[in-house]
Structure 1
């Protein structure tokens, strides 16, 4: 319901429910409703009239309509709509009701709506000067790591020194580590001076990758109608920045003028800190017409594991990497954009296109295929050369630089660091010691104050999720926060349990563990743990008679999973671990240390379908089940017990040793089972066939006297039911 119609009803505003979520229109615009309210609505003319009560969202938008009925309301009145006949029919107690549309009224509403849309577009164009769109507006969602804005920047975490490559050009410098030996430093500087051509000091030093190697194609869907965006209005400061940026891009031959483009987009000027303005293009419409390139990105966990444990590292970044790839000539005109001085299109691959990251990853995978996984790792435009020993580092760099020169790819000297022992790569701290959590992410948690709103708790759990690899039983630690969020939209109840969990989380993050990297041939160990609301595990690598954690895993139990039997929860914990840590399970022999009959449960052919499915899923891995030894390391301190959920008090008290304080006349209480007394042994079996069903019993006394009985049941029963009946009969006989 639109606000004009709501105001005419004169309904008190305090009856509105303000706790509602924003609406997203078909065009992608976000609209915040004023509130929601339940109102009765009558449709049709008496006596064929129906009345229902339905919730309405009150929206303040320019429109020619009063109310738009959604599918829930139409379903509630069991309405049938014919758009061809402009007819709405619905059942009533007095026969079918009918509401007919009006052609003239429909055309009038359509014309008014178009005018309102035009007015809205003009207001949005004026608003651009007040609230510029982010650089990646209209591109893929932020979760896609191929986008430049969220690709983690590889950088060293130690002191660096600047080295001049040309004495006659002192400003041409690169950075090298200060922890290397003097001999290696001398050789590294000489090597960099000899290969200075791989660095670009300006855009003019960047020839670009040959189109014979790769070029970016859009693959625009021909069935999609081209969109020419209407020109937006900007203030003089934006126009001046736009002119400067267009002149710069033209001078370095990144763009060219274009006539009569079929696709046309607006530019968005974004102010950068201490760097002036950056011109971005809103390719929203063009991206919608292009299919998603499913070229795979490397797994970040695997890249980090493959990098840790090396003596020396070199971090490199391509110079304006995306722009080193040319657009395919047939697709250049599709990248057209409008400025106050004319129409231009890109000759090189710009930022903001849907599949730009996938194209760049395809390029580096092709160029560095012989080196990736051995002496080099690449994630989009972040490149890293690694070496096990310091002596191997320069030869490894030489192999990479040879490829750079062969394909004319250029590096950005201001973002490169050579010969360092540790650094930040893809959001993790890597060194020869292992893998550490990003100190900035840890500090963000330590600096948090007590959450007071739902958004604060969501921010806390989001920061924990980014470090879950380092957190033992992360879901159990955050369980009080999830409880505080459950069933609330605005206010939260911060309990003492939440306060304790918050303090313990900060204490744990202050001493976050160092993770180890397994080597080829290592046997990895898995410890499992089950609580009332989550399953957890830790992957362990044994080295030097000590246990080092490799990866922590935790998952909250949902719905039916909470009702699994304990042994099935333990099996589920193993399945979750195998799914999350699949590369480790595929590359190594896994020992599961458990005191529960997990192997027998997964290998029984008559188990439930769920267990059979899990057994088949785990069958592809080399998994061995072994009993738990004594715990040795702090890494598994949280996994001392496999079941940590609260246990009910036992139904019987067991007596395993004679109690001299009891006299012979005294008997144990009702709920006491005395195992020191002579025991009777009962054997039962049951079966069923077409002729009937029966059971057999063998009751053995403490004196080894066997009493045999045969039973025939007068009722029909399955094999399992016959066995249960045999057990009950045997217990009654023994009593």
Structure 2
């Protein structure tokens, strides 16, 4: 019998029917003085009835009788299950007539004292009596534990206190398709964004078999299904550490156009406050956590991936989706809403249960496991820890004594080995120098060590005073005010570096006024022998990966995007790279769980992480010797010359003596000339030189009368030179300057400045330039805006102040070539002009302004690049206040017609403004500006045309050389591409 029938899953409903359990809905009525069952139900179930000592009558609140007959019997005790695991034996009064099959009244409520969630209409917690009698002492064995095959349970031993809940540790049930819930993973796409196209990755024979097995298994589980989606992501494998293969989906393209779900992760300092008074702890880890949540119905097509055997899409939330951590945290918060803050902390898929004593703790853990079963969530038993009195959680060590920082957070510094060489001491002092402003009397403390470096010694003589100084500084590094607790409301900064022997990292946040970068944690790792064989790029990437793993609890789902600083510039392009090796691909999937950007910082400014990475540098680094050349190139060339000369000499004996041969030169007969020029120009030892250098090579030993003409013809006709060298001929076509505007802000140009360091959430600047006055407007954005967002910014910044322009000039970026962009402005009657392909100087005005704004921000923000957004207004004022070389005026003088003072204005203004005079003077200024612009453009065209030829006339069928510099080729390798 089940009083919670409406909340059962179809699978559970079938299981209970199979076990011949009767399923009915019950009414909980606090006004009823007993527990009642409808007489027809008693007969249907063929329950035994017992007569009552005396008859009872049932009456409503108004005193009217219920039914026409009195209550004369009650049922014998029957097994009643009122939630997933709550069972008891209970007798009911048999009521002849009632609207409900079962009524549970006040006696039942007083006995069990349940806590009811009226919003979700379910019992969320039972009384201690129930935990002792109804849950643990149920006389009916649970079918879930008896029918489960041992193969489907993890090898971990279930504590005997939870043996009746063994189903929650099931591996098999964790691989079943979960039901749709209100917490499905939504994938909303940015409006106007280009949908990603799948790339088919080639697979080895082993990977092909693994792919077939994975697709077959996932289809059987219901996790995926065949797809006809127009989008797709790449599917490939990476090797696990144990040699197995892990399937991976490259969701970088999808994540770039996904609207981010900014659901906050738990505030760790707030969570730590809840542990006061707790003495026992249990850690639970969910199995296949993300796969326990469905993709929102209708969004499955966006998760599609392509393989060599077909196109499929996920029905469950897959790892690598940008919103997965936030969606799962939201789901878990709702599952444990009544328990969080009472005895549970949940951080994504990690659950910590805490209690003041063991008996209470066991009840709490049971409640958590029961709740997981109710929501069909399962835990990985082998990773769970039960009934601990000291536990590590989210970077802290928690016990009945309180909460302390994990030693690993500062071990990288507190375990710093004593320097034994001058270089090691210099490295430590360089690291310490970054935090000297936080340490009182830093110079005095460090003096015994700095004294050892005077006069540039070659060896280090360590002293007791130096050791005391060394220990004092290490202690200062790992204590306040240097080391601070993390603040989830502030953005994080991660500094990483890798050396030949180790990797190091520093996690920091800005604090104080003015804001200074304070460390939160230090990390160092000694490279294994295998890791030392990584290339420098992979070692730097390993540093990023290990740092994010170490501080995952702070960085995954952080409120603000964080910045990773590295001195390896190529890492900036990691998230957009088209080709990754298997190791990078495996790490890239892990990186997709974090919202961060990688910024290059020269090694000279990355000394904190660099010092941590070189803590192990006392060990000798492996030396790779370069291969020695056995046979110099000149030997082979000399052999060819000698054989060729011998052939020419034999041929000359058959010819008449030639006149005009210079002394010491060898005459070359006609049949050898092309071969000689080919050797001099095209051989590996010469490398396709130009005409003069080819002539010099040949003329040093050979001669014939038409040598210069023959070499000119050969070199100018060389197909390899034509394909691979920059042409020296004048550019075809005369300059066609843009039309000169007649008034301010009638013709504007737009462009973006991108990839700036995050500043108050901004990373991009939209530049708007008036082509008449050269006036500018700067609009900051969090990311590169869409076409609609750009149009809306121009509408608000330009239209509102200057009216609707006649023309907007831009490059051929995706925003400016989209239908949204054209439709928006065509509707307003504005012409949209695009620069010619691969010719950025067509929009040179914007390009120049972008250079100026970059220079301005570097000058004022070089110490704190993340402050640039505060200086953007001043950059705009500066640009509009400087005299332009083209107009001879400042943009402010062109429009509105006067230069605002840059210092307090002291002139006395007239009492009556002369409006007509002002307008006349403004028109004169505009006319003067127009003449200046037209004159300069004419001068610029005259100068440019000196380096350009007339436009050639081509006829159908003519053969021409086409430059492929700006075309993309699909070639197997860079070398092959150049040869084509």
Normalised to the residue count of structure 2, the TM-score between the two structures is 0.30
Name the one with the larger helix percent. Answer: 2
Name the one with the larger strand percent. Answer: 1
Instruction: Report 1 or 2 for greater relative contact order, CA contacts < 8 Å, sequence distance ≥ 6.
Output: 1
Normalised to the residue count of structure 1, the TM-score between the two structures is 0.39
